Amino acid sequence: MESNKVPDIVVGRLPIYLRALTYLAEEGQSVVSSQDLGKRLGISSAQIRKDLSHFGEFGKQGTGYEVGYLRDQLKRILRIEGRWPVALIGCGALGTAVAYYQGFAPKGFEIAAVFDNDPGKIGQRVSDKPVMDVAELPRVVREKNIRIAIVAVPSTAAQRIVNTLVDCGIKGILNYAPINISVPPGVQVQYIDPAVHLQRMTYYL
């Protein structure tokens, strides 16, 4: 095990491994080799072994990896054994869809609070949660110990709300607004922009 700095690109692959292992566990497969897993993901077996070796020794020579065990270890490494509370900012069409999305809970996240700045929306319920005034962000973030936020506001409002979030102590932001935002060091940002993914494909068509 090398306990130095693990490359971001390696950390970025762990959730992909985890997703595949969770699937295999559901399928009832109890053991998987790096070769099996690699074939499934389009990744070389050497890369999988090297990636995992950053965190420890999880396999058995001649056999491979115990699916459930490796899955749990990856959850531990990624710190998603429990359930992270997440703040959702923006309750328009996109934000509402995010609020109803079923995919977060099984992966270790729950929308703990929903915010908007439209008086017409504040107080209403979305996916069984009350929409709160953005002004309440600092209080709620503190009270619920929220460290991650999902930004689903219009592009024009994105940087402003991100600044607010950072001030509230948010350390991870998942940004659905199709715009680059800037954050201070130590704050993680990930982007979801489906159009960008489509544009990555057209070059090859």
Partner DNA sequence: TAGATTGTTAATCGATTAACAATC
Q: Are 65 and 58 in contact (CB under 8 A)?
A: yes
For position 10 contacting DNA by CB under 7 A, the verdict is yes
Site for DNA in 120-149 (CB under 7 A): none
- Calpha distance 174→188 (Å, rounded): 8
- The tokens describing 193, both together, are 């922009």
Listed residue (80, 62, 104, 103) closest to 14, CA to CA: 80
For position 98 contacting a copy of itself by CB under 8 A, the verdict is yes
What's 134's DSSP letter?
A: G
For position 41 contacting DNA by CB under 7 A, the verdict is no
Q: Are 115 and 88 in contact (CB under 8 A)?
A: yes
Site for a copy of itself in 125-154 (CB under 8 A): 147-148, 150
- Secondary-structure percent of the chain, ordered helix, strand, coil, rounded to 5: 45, 20, 35
For position 163 contacting DNA by CB under 7 A, the verdict is no
Q: Which does 60 bind (CB under 5 to 8 A by kind): DNA, a copy of itself, none?
A: DNA
For position 34 contacting DNA by CB under 7 A, the verdict is yes
For position 46 contacting DNA by CB under 7 A, the verdict is yes
> CB-based contacts of 133: which residues, under 8 Å, 6+ apart?
115, 116, 117, 122
Contact window for a copy of itself (CB under 8 A) among 63-71, 74-82, 118-126, 132-140: 74-82
Q: At what angle do helices 8-27 and 45-53 cross, to 10 degrees?
A: 110
Instruction: Tell me the site size for a copy of itself, rule CB under 8 A.
Output: 60
Report the interface residues with DNA, using CB under 7 A: 1, 7-10, 33-35, 43-47, 49-50, 52-53, 57-65
Binding site for a copy of itself (CB under 8 A): 11-12, 14-16, 18-20, 23, 40-42, 77-80, 84, 86, 93-94, 96-98, 100-104, 106-109, 147-148, 150, 155, 171-172, 174, 178-180, 182, 188, 190-205
